Amino acid sequence: MISSIVSPLLAGTEPTIQELADQVKLDSQVLTEQFYFYTVVVMWLIHVGFMAYEGGVARRKNLMSTAMKNILTIAVVTPSFYYFGWYVYGCFEEGWPKSGHASPDALPGFCGLTAPWSAGLGPNLQDHVSLVFFLAFLLFSWTTGSIMSGALIERVRLSAYLLLTVVLGSFVWILDAAWGWSSGGWLVTRFGFHDAIASLVVHGVAGAFAFGVLLNLGPRIGKYDASGRARSFRPHNLHMTLMGLMLIFTGFYGFYAACLVIQSTAFPGWLNIYLSPTTLGAIAMVITFGFAGGFTGGWFASKGDPFWTLSGGLAGVIAVSAGADVYHPSLAYLLSASGGMLAVWAGGWIERTLRVDDAVGAVAVHGVCGFYGVFLVGIFAGGYPTGINNVPVSFGGQLMGMLAFLPLAFLPGYGVSWLLKKANLLRVPPEVELEGIDLAEFQQDFYPEFERVPEVIVTPDGRAVEAGPILLEDYRAVIRPGR
């Protein structure tokens, strides 16, 4: 900014007040453009992390197919979000674009700016913000698909997953974001709904959508014995999984930052997604204390299990994300610890009582803790003014958002996966699942230099035994006529 002011002086001319104002405005816009660009770069680590996280959890025979799902998420969600998803966000904040492209009332004309043919969604020297803001939301969309991806590994068809992730990433989550994660969303302007860093609108919705899919997809062969007791599959590389989680945590700092609006020329310089004032430091403190509290809660609740300790950190951050702009660090630490513990307990209940085979605990970590985070804001941030018309946050308003988003997320996930199941397009054949999806799709083992040792499965009583006889017995039961 200094150079733009000094240059006219060096040229021997004195800038006018208007010229100085225009230069400051341009510098502010360029700073905003740079800020969102770097948040997008950092958020890529989330998807590197998800690929490593899920790849490590998968058994050796499904490693590459698991990784490819994460890569192809980017391939299908990017164009579908550009042509449809972003338009949904801009035009459906009020429930329906009642004023056409002039909608919404809170930000007139934003609907028109999100159309794929608008001037802002292509090269435009007069617009420094639209493209990078779009890219930030695109990365959020990839995240919703990656959340679902981990829950379905080792038995979902690639084509079915890609269709489901387009529905989730380019329609379902962005519609709920329009309603409850925008300055003009009807849940915000009418009920004061507050979910500052997307506990529910990203994580909770993706978890609920994945839960609907899992009900139709069914468990992996060998997951449950004849009595319905859960067995455990050993990750092929737990170190890779833990590293992936740490990369996700690093990318979350970019995620958090991208949820803010930067205003370098107006106090206090930062606004949340609802255009209420906050600071970057405040949300950075909450995410850091959230990880610390989540690790603590996950460690205690799981009795030191490495996977659930780190997953507890993720659950803890999700639990405090909704109120990250207003929580004190001490409160964030305590609430995130409760979130880490809740994820462990919910994950066990979903696996053993509901008998839903969620391979990475995504429904517990993202779904349950996403809804929990919004619930906590209704208790601990009640009365806080949110949005451009300063509607007070209330428990009733938070409950309204939860009641709106649960069916919006669950029903499409269940409905689309049910149709795919009826068409026999949802799940790979049992023979492919037994042998490994990598061999079926790529005709090779991706660890050729290592001997393929017998697969191990952990029985309900904690014994590690050779998986072959158990998987064959369950396979015969699956293909038996009448089942």
Q: Sign of the CA dihedral 413, 419, 425, 428? A: positive
For residue 153, give Cα distances in angstroms to 57, 188, 218, 464: 9, 36, 11, 22
Place of tokens 């230069």: 23
Across 274-429, the runs of DSSP E, i.e. the strands, are 277-278, 385-386, 391-392
Q: Is 200 exposed, middle or buried (0-12, 13-18, 19+ CB in 10 A)?
A: buried
* Residue 459 maps to a domain: no
Question: What confidence score (pLDDT) does residue 418 get?
Answer: 98
**Which residue matches tokens 């996977």?**
307
**Distance in angstroms (rounded) separating the CA atoms of residues 326 and 306:** 31
What pLDDT shows up at residue 333? 98
pLDDT at 1 > cutoff 50: no
> What's the whole-number mean pLDDT along residues 442-450?
78
Report the 3 state secondary structure along 230-250.
ECEECCCCHHHHHHHHHHHHH
Q: Percentage of residues in the chain with pLDDT exceeding 90?
A: 78
List pLDDT tens digits, range 158-204: 999 999 999 999 999 999 999 999 999 999 999 999 999 999 999 99
* 453 domain-assigned: no
Burial class (CB in 10 A: 0-12, 13-18, 19+), 123: exposed
Residue 47 within any structural domain of the chain: yes
Residue 160 lies in a domain: yes
Return the CATH number at 36.
1.10.3430.10
Strands of the sheet with 232-233, listed across from one edge: 232-233, 456-458, 464-466
Tell me the one-letter amino acid at 293: G
Q: In this structure, is residue 335 part of a structural domain?
A: yes
Whether 257 and 278 have beta carbons less than 8 Å apart is answered as no
Q: Which two tokens stand for residue 113?
A: 């700016």
Residue 383 in contact with residue 192, Cβ under 8 Å? no
- Residue 198 in contact with residue 321, Cβ under 8 Å? yes
Q: Beta partners for 261?
A: 271
CA distance 233 to 480: 24
Mean pLDDT throughout 18-35?
A: 88
**Would the CA dihedral through 59, 63, 67, 69 be positive or negative?**
negative
**What is the pLDDT of the chain when averaged over all its residues?**
92
Residues belonging to the chain: 483
| 317 falls within a domain | yes
Six-digit token string for 245:
């989680």
| pTM score | 0.94
What gap in Å lies between CA 272 and CA 236, rounded to an integer?
41
The tokens describing 394, both together, are 């209330």
Q: Which residues, 6+ apart, have CB-to-CB distance to 450 below 8 Å?
A: none
Dihedral angle at the C-alpha atoms of 151, 285, 253, 53, nearest 10 degrees?
A: -30
Which of the pair, 3 or 428, is modelled with greater confidence? 428
Give per-residue pLDDT as tens, 85-105: 999 999 999 988 888 888 888
Residue 369 has pLDDT above 90, yes or no: yes
Number of domains forming the structure of the chain: 1
What is the Cα–Cα distance from 277 to 267, expressed in whole angstroms? Answer: 8
Domain ranges, residue 144: 17-430
What are the structure tokens assigned to 139, written together? 């990365």
**248-307: per-residue pLDDT in tens?**
999 999 999 999 999 888 888 899 999 999 999 999 999 999 999 999 999 999 999 999
Q: Is residue 475 part of a domain?
A: no
Average pLDDT rounded to a whole number, residues 225-229:
91
In a domain, 11, yes or no: no
Are 258 and 301 in contact, with CB atoms under 8 Å apart? no
- Amino acid at position 109, single letter: G
Q: Above 60 in pLDDT, residue 457?
A: yes
Instruction: State both tokens at 421.
Output: 């199941």
| C-alpha–C-alpha distance, residues 162 and 57, integer Å | 20
Q: In what order do the strands lie in the sheet with 261-262?
A: 261-262, 270-271, 277-278
